[in-house]
A and B are shown apart, each in its own frame.
Chain A
Amino acid sequence: MKRNKLLAVALSTAMVAGALTGCGGGSEEAKKDDSKGSVYYLNFKPEVAEVWEEVAKKYTEETGVDVKVVTAASGNYESTLKSEIAKTDAPTLFQINGPIGYQSWKDYCADLSDTDFYKSLSDQSLAIKGEDGGVYGVPYTIEGYGIIYNDEIMQKYFATSGAKAATTDEINSFDKLKEVVEDMQSKKDELGIEGVFASTSLLPGEDWRWQTHLADLPIYAEYNAKDVDDLDTIEFTYNDKYKNIFDLYIENSCTEPTMLGSKGVNDSMAEFALGKVAMVQNGNWAWGQISETQGNVVKEENIKFMPIYCGLDDEANQGLCIGTENYFAINSKASEASQKASVDFVNWLISSETGKDYMTNKLGNNAPFTTFSDSEKPSDPLAQDMLGSMESGKTSIPWVFTTFPSQTFKDNFGAALLEYAQGTKTWEDVVSYVNEQWATEKAAVAE
């Protein structure tokens, strides 16, 4: 009996101990070498998750500093960050998406004004600055979006009788674009396409190309007209311009407007890659999706960018929408050593040969640092076209959507667009709804 009792005690203690160490294992390991610090990067882009793992391994080999990379699932960055950063072993290097992201994470953002990577930014105004003048977010890539078109189909169209233009260069205003698109749509059988534009994906969660990217243009015009860079309430002055291009997208597409609620971004990109449509609105990051679509028929040299013409002023000089929503931030609550290790890691990424090679060629980043020479730029067709547009002297449209109040605002905007597209909401209702949502959500942020 006595022995049984002892055994019972021993067994149950072993069980409890096992259970407890099972939970605590991870953090013990991380604390092993605190003097040197370690890097924990929470990666935003699932499409390059494996490359980041490789970078981490390489860096550890070269310097002996531990680098851990965790990738958040698509669309879950904020929620992953929220739970990860509350842990003892929290990310030391993470991403914020602009001024609004900074608002939400300012308690965790370290001042980066003394770091080498901030100092080597080619344009220091790109960084995110706090009210106290400190630097809290440094962009690591510049991206651009516009209307991606398939030049093969365009050339075919220009050769048809009665074509409304002879080259894509002639398309430099909304009116011209509309004329060409509508003519192409009427000749779609002759051109062998199902529609000019790919599906305007409006499935909830798949509508960011419209409620964020496309909305950038009218809001930027409004900021410009009022000479501000953020507003507590908007009038959506240029909503008619938005409607111009949005109507053009949904009426000259391979998909009927009432069916758009079932389409995602992948559907649109696949339609483009398979040659079913001539145009799709997206950014340079879409190159991966186009080139990886099975059975794609679009040739690399035929993939080109065109600015989004929607009827704003001075369209002849309008360029692509160029900006970033990827800013590195360093966790101010991490240990001194780990903060320093993270700074060193980023410095290595943008200045060492290996680091730069990964940044440009494998991660496909167009890094905005003076440490990158002209030959060290990404070489895919969309990135090339984007760089060309930036150097052509046309006025790029900056990404002001980083000032949009919240994800809820964007989601509700997208939902209203869907209802407009399928005919259950009028355009006037969409406009007043957007204005009202902007005001409420901005007020909520300020609280």
Chain B
Amino acid sequence: MEKNIKRYFPIFVLPTLIAFLIAFVIPFIMGLYLSFCDFTTVTNSKFVGLSNYMNTFSDKEFLNALWFTVKFALIAVVTINFFGFIMALLLTKGLKGTNFFRTVFFMPNLIGGIVLGYIWQSMINGVLAHYKVTMLMDPKYGFWGMVILMNWQMIGYIMIIYIAGLQNVSPDLLEAARIDGATELQTLIKIKIPMVMPSITICLFLTITNSFKMFDQNLALTAGGPSNKTAMLALDIYNTFYGKVGFEGVGQAKAVIFFIIVAIIGISQVAISRRKEVES
């Protein structure tokens, strides 16, 4: 059987490989090429060299969006993982109704970003209406609105991963710790956290990349307002591509830079937290 699988491996992998090529590899290579072109549609392009990239770096809006995204990602990653982990700890204690709460906390993750954005927009505006302002009054409202929205959406998902990690911590270790007289806090720091390090690696990766790539929530919640002060990188790329005549190539160049940034951050984060993982 084993031998057979090895022999027919190319056939089995073929459908997925073709799908992967069509939907990912080819568009990616085309995208790279187009970032050096002047074009309106992807099938009709003219090579222009590096001018798109030069335009990108002289674009104040892009640098603002980059800075805003970094701030947002920092706050969102810390809060989501913190609350997700606490939630996971609470829901592995064997309390009554654990399953119910796990389901409830996970549910926001099943709703699409645009819908969430509009729902939260009405809710936040509803609250702010008491003070006679809207979310577009000040960029800080939009910023914290997005942090809350992202937390609400992501915590459940992250929590599930942490729960799986915590359930895999060997009861022998926990029991041994208890017999040795370790307190709850000591058990958490010396045993549980090192043991769930693989989950932490995954969760950090997911939250960092998702925070950087956030688009639909941003579009629906504030659309970058007021005056693009709450526009994140993905939204800025979208606005460049579709909002300016002849700037499709610049949008594409921004997207390539965006990819490189996210890839560097994501890969180095995984490399760093992998080193902290321990063998059980």
Binding site for B on A (CB under 8 A): 5, 8-9, 12, 15-16, 19-20, 23, 78-79, 82-83, 85-86, 100, 103-105, 107-108, 202-205, 256, 258-262, 405-408, 411-412, 415-416, 418-419, 422, 424, 441, 444-445, 447
Contacts and interface: CB of A to CB of B under 8 A. Distances in A.
Nearest to A9: B11
Contacts of B243: 406-408, 411
B47 interface: no
Contacts of B11: 8-9, 12
16 contacts: A12-B11, A12-B14, A15-B15, A103-B245, A103-B246, A104-B40, A105-B40, A259-B132, A260-B134, A261-B135, A262-B129, A407-B244, A408-B240, A412-B228, A422-B134, A445-B245
Given A104-B246, A444-B247, A12 B135 contact: no
A19 B41 CA distance: 26
Contacts of A79: 242
A135 B224 CA distance: 38
Contacts of A20: 18
B183 interface: no
B41 A415 contact: no
Contacts of A424: 137-138, 226
A162 to B, nearest CB: 31
A406 B244 contact: yes
B136 A408 contact: no
A441 B244 contact: yes
Residue from B224, B226, B239 whose CB has the most chain A CB atoms within 10 Å? B226
Contacts of B242: 78-79, 82, 407
Give the top 4 A-B pairs by smallest Cβ distance, nearest first: A261-B136, A261-B134, A204-B223, A408-B243
A1 to B, nearest CB: 8
Residue from B12, B22, B42, B244 whose CB has the most chain A CB atoms within 10 Å? B244
B12 A12 contact: yes
B258 to A, nearest CB: 18
Interface residues on B, range: 35 or more
B93 to A, nearest CB: 42
A86 B42 contact: yes
Interface string B29-70: 000000000001111100000000000000000000000000
Contacts of B244: 406-408, 441, 444
A444 B246 contact: yes
B266 interface: no
Contacts of B239: 408, 411
A103 B247 CA distance: 12
B129 A422 contact: no
A259 B224 contact: no
Interface in B116-130: 125, 129
B19 interface: yes
A82 B41 CA distance: 6
Interface in B121-173: 125, 129, 132-138
B108 to A, nearest CB: 23
A339 to B, nearest CB: 17
Contacts of B14: 12, 16
Interface in B208-265: 222-228, 239-240, 242-248
A262 B242 CA distance: 24
Nearest to B242: A79
A262 B134 contact: yes
Contacts of A9: 11
B246 A416 contact: no
Nearest to A86: B41
Nearest to A416: B227
B136 A418 contact: yes
Contact of B125 (A105, A262, A441, A447): A262
B42 to A, nearest CB: 5
B134 A258 contact: yes
Nearest to A407: B243
Contacts of A16: 14-15, 18
A230 B61 CA distance: 26
Given A15-B15, A16-B18, A418 B245 contact: no
Contacts of A78: 242
Contacts of A15: 15
B227 A419 contact: yes
A12 B14 CA distance: 8
B231 to A, nearest CB: 10
Residue from B18, B19, B225 whose CB has the most chain A CB atoms within 10 Å? B225
A223 B131 CA distance: 42
B100 interface: no
B8 interface: yes
A153 to B, nearest CB: 26
Residue from B224, B243, B248 whose CB has the most chain A CB atoms within 10 Å? B243
A135 B18 CA distance: 45
A419 to B, nearest CB: 5
Nearest to B7: A5
A419 B228 CA distance: 12
A19 B18 contact: yes
B114 to A, nearest CB: 12
B132 A258 contact: yes
A85 B40 CA distance: 10
A15 B16 CA distance: 10
Nearest to A87: B43
Contacts of B245: 100, 103-104, 405-406, 444-445
A27 to B, nearest CB: 14
Given A16-B14, A407-B242, 11 more contacts: A5-B8, A8-B11, A15-B15, A103-B246, A104-B246, A107-B40, A202-B136, A204-B222, A261-B225, A261-B226, A441-B244
Contacts of B135: 261-262
A26 B160 CA distance: 42
Contacts of B125: 262
